[in-house]
Structure 1
Amino acid sequence: MKRLFYLLICVLPFGACSEYQKVLKSEDVSLKYNMAEELYKEGKYQKALRLFEQVVPKYRGKPQAERIMYHYANTYYQLKDYYVASYQFDRFVTSYPKSEKKEEAQFKAAESYYHLSPRYSLDQEDTDKAVEKLQGYINTYAEEGKHLESANKMVIDLRTKKERKAYEIAKQFHHREDYKVAINAFDMYLVDYPGSAFREKALYYKLESQYLLAIGSYDFLVKDRLEQAEEYYRLYKKYYKTEGEHLEDANEIAEDIKLRLEKRN
């Protein structure tokens, strides 16, 4: 009995594999469709995909087409092939605007771009596309969307990523001691992202850039530039009077500015 049991274990997978290959090569479209659906239900997406690829063109315009197209798109999604998944879900939404699966498809198309968004230091074209698509979903299903909470969280995450990229670019100029460019970059950043999580850092490094620019300037420029740095300190303190990651450093800079200006008066 044990030998028979082990023999069955060894033989059955080969039988299943042989059956799959037979269907894959078959001319019977309905046979392919039925096996694709079965494999899809079992979560065997890679095998299901090969059959769906053959089946999809044959069922265009037929009653089963809507179901097949959704499963086809979702198979790519499950396999984490997000570029193709987003494209296929978009096609589904366009082709079946009245489908009960439309909302799900629209959300997954947007979510696919969210997964394609790279780390903040790289080009953010896919991030912009993801925000656009997620915002489109939010606007369309503002009152009763099943995935509104997830979509809003993703948008916040993506926008924070873009904010960080802009902040890091400005900070790079600061670290390179290109202080004039750094100050302009921080100014632009604060205008573009007034509620950013990196706002305090931007205000502080703008102050520090102006301070370092001042003390490294020709003598006839120092006073005006120190006074400008003093203005930036007051701006920082306007928002971070008692708490702030850089409050202590900002106060030390302000004390040094005060001493330097007193010596000049």
Structure 2
Amino acid sequence: GKQQYQDHKYLKAIESFQSIVFNHPGAAVVDSAQYYLGLSYFGNKEYALAGVEFNRLLLNYPSSAYAENAQFMKAVCFFEGTPRDYALDQSELQKAIRQFEEFIIDHPDSDLLPDAQAYLNKAKERLARKYYEAGIVYKRLHAYKSAKIYFQKVVDDFTNTPYGALATYEIADAAFKMHKYDEAARLFANFAVVFPKHEKVAEARRHEVEAAFRAAKVAYDNGKYSDAASRFEKFLEKYPDSKKANDARKYLEKLKQELPVASSDESQSGS
């Protein structure tokens, strides 16, 4: 059986190992046969069947010398059995993530640890992309609340993947698109601090400035002149050299003329 496996004659190897497992369950080499049966199915790209055999080894021979490898390969089977297209069902990938995490906890000194961590990172990145792309779809439909849910999922569960930073940026952009300018300015600023070397930092800084300016302008347009004046003054303190600085100064000049009247109107409406 082993020779057939090494020669990549997986179907013949499967028959040989099955014969040992089913006809000689008490043999000393049965755990070895069980393990290689799983490997043979795996080599034949029958990942679901391979996973079943590795799981049987873990259940029936937990003290086997092959148990550690079987646990690792069981996780690999879930990973390899997942469609590569992130748009398709990725439930097996979620199982793979749990299996690799359990392996890392159970075998912190294993020689397979680097491989398990590498698989785990790949699995998380693929799943992160699925949620991220779902968020992008909703964003294109202008369904920003729904988009934020998916982007937040990426940030919460897959922040260390490349999509963690992208999702963080998109959450800020969604707030901007929903005209939540104070929130957007804060989130864009946080993005630049948390991901200072990211390619979107310059863009985030520009949007931060624009959001802060728009928040002040909204206050002005709504007749909240005291609030608007305070906001424009803070804007100039924080962004004195921005492209919006001159516009902010013009609004402040207008407010100097309008503020006394506005203050009187505000006090009358308050009484």
TM > 0.5 fold call: yes
Distance of 1:194 and 1:76 partners within structure 2: 35
Q: Which residue of 1 aligns with 2:181?
A: 226
Residues 1:81 and 1:249: Cα distance change in structure 2 (over 3 Å): same
User: Does the alignment pair 1:115 with 2:80?
Assistant: yes
Q: Secondary structure at the match of 2:108?
A: coil
User: Does the alignment pair 1:74 with 2:74?
Assistant: no
Q: CA deviation at 1:177?
A: 0.9
Q: Is the 8 A contact 1:90 1:109 kept in 2?
A: yes
- 1:92-131 equivalent positions in 2, closer than 5 A: 92-119=57-84, 120-131=86-97
Q: Which residue of 2 aligns with 1:156?
A: 121
Identify the match of residue 134 of structure 1 among 100, 118, 121: 100
Task: Give the partner amino acid of 1:121.
Answer: A
Q: Which residue of 1 aligns with 2:141?
A: 176
User: Does the alignment pair 1:253 with 2:207?
Assistant: yes
Q: Is the 8 A contact 1:138 1:152 kept in 2?
A: yes
Distance of 2:2 and 2:170 partners within structure 1: 58
Distance of 1:39 and 1:194 partners within structure 2: 44
Distance of 1:40 and 1:191 partners within structure 2: 43
Aligned-residue identity in percent: 22
> Structure 1: which 4+ aligned runs deviate by more than 4 Å?
none
* Structure 2 segments unaligned to the other structure (5+ residues): 222-227, 229-271
Instruction: Kindly provide the CA deviation profile for residues 147-179 of structure 1, in whole angstroms up to 9, marking residues without a partner as x.
Output: 111011111111122222222222221111112
Residues 1:90 and 1:211: Cα distance change in structure 2 (over 3 Å): same
Q: CA deviation at 1:42?
A: 3.8
Identify the match of residue 205 of structure 1 among 150, 170, 176: 170
Q: CA deviation at 1:64?
A: 4.1
Identify the match of residue 236 of structure 1 among 182, 191, 199: 191
Q: CA deviation at 1:203?
A: 2.7
Distance of 2:2 and 2:205 partners within structure 1: 67
Residues 1:206 and 1:39: Cα distance change in structure 2 (over 3 Å): closer
Q: Secondary structure at the match of 1:198?
A: helix
Q: Is the 8 A contact 1:117 1:130 kept in 2?
A: no
Distance of 2:183 and 2:8 partners within structure 1: 64
- CA RMSD between the two structures: 2.6
Residues 1:211 and 1:101: Cα distance change in structure 2 (over 3 Å): closer
Residues 1:207 and 1:134: Cα distance change in structure 2 (over 3 Å): closer
* Structure 1 segments unaligned to the other structure (5+ residues): 1-35, 215-224
Task: Give the partner amino acid of 2:22.
Answer: P
Residues 1:54 and 1:197: Cα distance change in structure 2 (over 3 Å): same
TM-score (normalised: structure 1): 0.70
